[in-house]
Structure 1
Amino acid sequence: MEYYADAEGGDYVQDPDHAEVLSLIKRLNTTTNTFVVLYPTDHDLEWFISVATSRGPFGGYEVERYDPTTGEKAKTTSAAPGQIATDVLAWVTQR
């Protein structure tokens, strides 16, 4: 599966590996770089997975998954960037 990551702060990475996804997540902040989204390179596919800084009282990250092919639409929260990067890449691989 070919995919890319596009961050609000301007970072763009083609086929990011775990270290690159982790770095993109760790660079998120609450002002100018609040989210990163992974999309398929094939624009006929409509899935995405995003990681955003959480605006809740405990901080952390919100992960949103969307895949119209499977009907999946879910949001979760986490405070562990390493686990998020692992989960994001596992989800992308399943597409």
Structure 2
Amino acid sequence: MPVAPKRIIKEIRSLRHKKFRQEKQAYFAEGIAIVLSALENQAPVQYVIYSPELLRSETAYEAISEARAVSRAMRLAPKRSCPYPDAITLWVSVR
């Protein structure tokens, strides 16, 4: 399972700013419900970035497995602990 390169993380973080969203014609979505909805509705998802340590939902795990099969999912390398221990985060960059 590939780790998300710093380049991709920087690109996703840049989408916080309207200027970059307009320039790249992309946005990012965060959270299980919206990410699963994007994947289920076959949105043009560019990346799915997730933390395996926080992935507890069976449905989310299955969606990540499917996304990995088409090389869109990358795990987030752990750097620090999450300030919200029960939080589950999935990011998706959509074009």
TM-score where L is the length of structure 1: 0.25
Structure with the bigger RCO (C-alpha within 8 Å, sep 6+) is 2
Q: TM-score, normalised by structure 2?
A: 0.25
**Which of the pair is proportionally richer in strand?**
1
